[in-house]
Amino acid sequence: MPKNIALITGATSGIGQAISTQFAAAGIDLILTGRRAERLKDTQEKLIANYGIEVQTLCFDIRQQQACEQAINGLPAEWKAIRYLINNAGLASGLGKLHEGQLSDWEQMIDTNVKGLLYISRLVIPLLIEKQQGHIVNISSIAGKEVYANGNVYCASKFAVDALNRGMRIELAESNIRVTSINPGAVNTEFSLVRFHGDAQRAEKVYEGFDPLMAQDIADAVYYAISRPAHVNINEMIIMPTAQPVASIIHRK
């Protein structure tokens, strides 16, 4: 019987995977989502074996509203007592001028980062309200605080996450639900590989010549936020590599 449950979207890689391991180590039972079934299964097996927690996996595309509904509504009753919702699934697709942009990139970012986050939140928040407790952590970005050259639509999608984060906090305080946004700068994950449509050489260059953040740095911050006493809400955190003082400047050796 699961007790202390977290639902983490985008748990197949990077930040979501690191949060999953950090939470598992703290004895939190997990609902993990993503599109890559094999990775979900591997992660589930490892976390159960290493930490003795319970893990459910939900394999679906967060852009598909019906798939979100089926996944969340189809959870066994005891798994609906979700305490932590970590809205992490997201991506950048492309990096270039708006007037030269690919519509398919824009749609993928808006559908995943904004609409997907909304679909999941709409389904899970009523479950938190029912229990009059819970904590939502929205993984936004420094791109949701500062606009940088060629970031246009990705930045817009993360500014939307920032607005949704603030809106949720205002609306949910009366239900004793905490809401936190985490806004990282460059984190070395599959993010750039995805942004550059699988161009591994270009992706590697993003993290060359300086020490980027690691996914674990962000997992630490998320765990810090959720492990504060119940009367303490961390509204937001901006976390940057030391060599990246603002979004558009990276000091490389």
Name the site residues for ligand 8X3 (rule: CB under 6 A): 141-143, 151, 185-186, 247
Angle at 251 between CA 250 and CA 253, to 5 degrees: 135
**Residue 62 interface partner, choices ligand NDP, ligand 8X3, none, CB cut-off 5-8 Å depending on type:** ligand NDP
List % helix, strand, coil for the chain (3-state, nearest 5): 50, 15, 35
Residue from 21, 72, 90, 136 binding ligand NDP (CB under 6 A): 90
Shortest distance, CB of residue 186 to ligand 8X3, whole angstroms? 5
Q: Which of 84, 119, 154, 207 is catalytic?
A: 154
Shortest distance, CB of residue 113 to ligand 8X3, whole angstroms? 10
Tell me the C-alpha distance between 156 and 94, whole Å. Answer: 14
Residue from 12, 21, 22, 181 binding ligand NDP (CB under 6 A): 12
**C-beta closer to ligand NDP: residue 61 or 146:** 61
**Residue 139 interface partner, choices ligand NDP, ligand 8X3, none, CB cut-off 5-8 Å depending on type:** ligand NDP
Q: Does 217 contact ligand NDP by CB under 6 A?
A: no
65-73 helix and 117-131 helix, angle to the nearest 10 degrees = 30
Show Cβ contacts of residue 244 under 8 Å, excluding neighbours closer than 6 positions: 185, 186, 210, 212, 250, 251
**C-beta closer to ligand NDP: residue 15 or 153:** 15
Shortest distance, CB of residue 9 to ligand 8X3, whole angstroms? 16
Nearest to 246 by CA among 140, 91, 142, 149: 142
CB 128 within 8 A of CB 81: no
CB 179 within 8 A of CB 133: no
Shortest distance, CB of residue 72 to ligand 8X3, whole angstroms? 26
- Assess whether 154 carries a catalytic annotation: yes
HSE (side-chain half, CA atoms, 13 Å) at 103: 0
Touching ligand NDP, residues 130-189 (CB under 6 A): 139, 141, 184, 186-187, 189
Tell me the C-alpha distance between 147 and 155, whole Å. Answer: 6
Residues with a known catalytic role: 154
Interface positions with ligand NDP (CB under 6 A): 10-16, 34-36, 61-63, 88-91, 112, 139, 141, 184, 186-187, 189-191, 194
